[in-house]
Every structure is written in structure tokens, then in C-alpha cells.
Amino acid sequence: MENGDLGHMMGEPVSLNVGGCVYSTSRSTLLRYPDSILGAMFRGDIPTVRDARGNYFIDRDGQLFRYILNFLRTSELTLPCDFKETELLRKEADFYQIEPLMQCLGDPKPLLPYPTNTYEEVVELSSTRKLSKYSNPVAVIITQLTITTKIRAVLESISSGFPKWNKHMMDTRDYQVSFTFGPCDHQQEVSLRVHLLDFISQAGFTIRNTRVHHMSERANENTVEHHWTFCRPTHKVRD
């Protein structure tokens, strides 16, 4: 392949319809992070859908995709000074599995002073997934998601709120609910995590911090660990 042909391929224009907002970019920009959902889509590993005008269609937040796309172009996160949708952008970054962006959005929030008659309840969500390096770069070999909290009502609501996952191992001992499954599709794994994040947030918790850790266990596997800490203030109950 000649240099001119390579340059033409890398600069191939692509139009995206994200939640009704249309964006134009290059295929090379969308492939910047190959292990992301966008990388998998435009590498041909995940089926794509087009709208009536031929644009690739993604049913996500179209306004926030502006920041996703700019990060793909520059590998830098730049937000307006008055930006107030960090939590929503974090969910978008998690859906697209752009882990450098997730790390940028994972800075711990400052501790907030609570009145003396309140305390913090904490929920920990951890995810461990192993990705195949050989067959499909985004195929999940096995993954485990574990919610840890001493709030029994939260554990019970998660256990009953995700009945379709009951076929997987669920352990409510030691203040934990665990979902273990695989091999599975990458979108299936992402979907469960996004729904769990939403479920915990709807219970009044906000994300305090996030962590992402990569480690290679063997030549043909790569393990990625995610960890989220949620907190909410609660009034103390008098004896």
C-alpha cells in the first residue's frame, strides 16, 4: 500500500447520528482506542446501524458526545468552567469504554461536611473482566461484578431488581452481591454495569471516586479492574 492510499484510509470521513445530533469525524479518530465500543464498531466487531440519511446511529446522549469526540481527537479532556454534567459524562465514557477518559473523570470528589446528626452510607461496586487478545479483542472471557455494602435493603433490592441475572452466581453473604458470568458479549457486560450504576444512583447515592487498573495475567489475556465508591448522607436513628 502506498503512503497516499494509507493517508486516504486513515482520513476517511464518517458521519454519526448520536441521539439526534450529527457529527462528522474520521475513522482513524473513532479507532484511537481500539478496545472501546467505538473502536469495536468501526473495526467491524460490533454490528452497526444507520439512520435514514446513512449516518451511523448511536442511541446515546448527543450533546455530551461532543466531549467524547474531542477527547478522541486530542486525548485531552477540556470542559467548560461551568460544566455541571460530570456524572452524566462519566456514564457516557463508561458506556463507550474509553478508559483514559474514565480515568480523567475519576478524580475523587472533595469530602462534604455533614451535620452532626448524619453519617455516610457507602456502596462499593467492583468489576473484574478478562479480555481475549486473540479471538476478538473485545470479547469478555469471564467477568465478575461485586456490590459490597452493609445496607441490607440495598443488597436485597439489587438481588430482586435484576432477575434476569439470577442464573448467575449471586452471593448475599458478607454484605455482598456478586454476579459472575462468561464468556459473554462485551456489550452484555457493559450493559449490566451501566444498569447497576444507574440503579445505585437512583437510590440516592453519588459517585465519590472511580479507579481503573490494567494488568496482564498471561500472554493471551488482559485483565481490567474497575472500582466505584458511592456515598449518601443518612440521618442517625436515636435509640
Q: Residue 99 in contact with residue 205, Cβ under 8 Å?
A: no
Query: Hey, which residues does 17 pair with through a beta bridge?
Result: 22, 57
Buried b (16+ CB within 10 A) or exposed e, 50-81: eeeeebbbbebbbebbebbbbbbeeeebeeee
Q: Considering the domain 3-99 in this protein, what is its CATH number? A: 3.30.710.10
Domain ranges of the chain: 3-99, 118-235
pLDDT value of position 40? 84
pLDDT value of position 99? 81
pLDDT per residue as tens, the chain (239 positions): 444 443 444 568 999 999 999 999 999 999 988 878 898 888 887 788 999 999 999 999 999 999 999 999 988 887 887 888 888 898 898 888 888 888 778 754 544 555 566 778 899 988 887 776 665 545 676 678 888 888 888 888 887 787 666 444 455 567 888 877 777 766 677 777 778 888 888 888 887 777 777 666 555 567 778 788 888 888 765 54
